[in-house]
Amino acid sequence: MEAGGILADRYVLVRPVARGAQGTVWRAVDRVRGTDVAVKVSGTADVEALLRLVCEQSVRIGHPHVLVPVDWFVREDEAWLVLPLVRGGTLAGLLADYGQLPAPVGLLIAEQLLDALAAVHAAGLVHRDVKPSNLLLAATGTGRPHVFLADFGVARVLPHLQLTSHALVVGTPDYLAPEVRAGEGSSPAQDVYAAGLVLTGLGALPALVAAMTADRPELRPSAAAARDEIARARAALGPEQWPVEWEGEAFAVLDQLPAGPAPEPETPRTAAGPRRTVLVTTAALAALAAAAVALGAGGAPDRQDPRGDTPAPRSTPTRVVPSDADTGLPDPQGPTAFSRCEARQQFTVRFSPEGYLLLCTHVPATRDYEWAPQSDAD
């Protein structure tokens, strides 16, 4: 994919803004809304990439400091996630530029991080990869800083979902809690531990940092309790005043992305086209289904049917689930086999109340979508 390429007939790629082990992040323009967005692309659409996509696109936490996706799709060999574009860089970059931060700035960022984690934990999630490079900053200039907790690609729902083996340690080594290193299960305490390490660079109270990074998880405060402690420390500084002077000049979070118009889009035929699912094995599809059920992924972010029409009702003969249909954990709230689903749910996987593995699939030669049972033959 090159600058000017169009994805899903909607997103025009501008330029890469970051590259990492999990793929590339592009700055892009949403032609429908006329806004800049960030598009994350995995290098492959293998099972691991799809699981990360299921995790991240399923996060639906309405919180001012949690970055949630706005769209997603899978091409034949890549998985794509569309997010709001955050232009101020990362906390890691800010610390590299400034070193120690002014107390009003450091404590404000600490409070915003802990407030985000409190919301994440209240929603039954564990982030599992809290670190400065996953904390994005709005380009607020000399005004009040605003941080976003991002990258939920290895998040876990408690207590239902285990996306990786206990033998496989997930997260960034320098920010792993002792119990995670020992192979124990995920818990909110591991996020608190990682946040405590982040707070060491933000000027937080040493006693609070020590409590958050205690060896035993049961001795650590909750994210909400730690947030409240930071709020009290901020209140002790007096009323907020922005800008903050730091070493003789105004402290600022500047726009880190180069300016300039988007390139002319390519002909859509090479980069656009309908959203399609990747062909995966039955085992991979079952893993995705388990992830979707545990994350409550009843559907992807709102997207319109490419035709812009509401599917018309139709009558179908009674059908029977194949004897070799794949099964898993029954979901009492799940759809029934062959029941209707929406175009925006295409390629979503669920379990039925009987435990059948279902895929929202387009019915050929119609405008309908249905929850189709899956089997090895599929």
Catalytic residue annotation:
129
Contacts of 255 (CB under 8 A, 6+ apart): 87, 88, 139
Q: Show the tokens assigned to 299.
A: 């559907």
Cis previous bond, 159, omega within 30: yes
- How many angstroms from the chain centroid is the CA of residue 221? 25
- Position 153: which residue type? G
**b vs e for 335-356, b when ≥16 Cβ sit within 10 Å of the residue's Cβ?**
bebbebbbbebbbbbbbbeeeb
Query: What string of H, E and C letters represents the secondary structure of 313-348?
Result: CCCCCCCCCCCCECECCCCCCCCCCCCECCHHHCCC
Name the strand (E) or helix (H) holding 372: strand 369-373
Task: Please confirm whether the linkage preceding 221 is cis (ω < 30° from 0).
Answer: no
- What are the residues whose beta carbons fall under 8 Å from the beta carbon of 258, sequence distance 6 or more? 15
Q: Residue 41: how many CB atoms within 10 A of its CB?
A: 20
Closest CA to 269 of 2, 31, 9, 4: 9
Residue 111, both tokens: 């409070």
28 sits in which H/E element: strand 23-30
Helix, strand and coil in the chain, % to nearest 5: 30, 20, 55
Q: Which two tokens stand for residue 240?
A: 């907020």
Q: Can you state the angle between helices 103-122 and 223-236, rounded to 10 degrees?
A: 160
Place of tokens 């080594």: 173
For residue 3 the two structure tokens come to 């600058």
> Residue 122 has which token pair?
């209240």
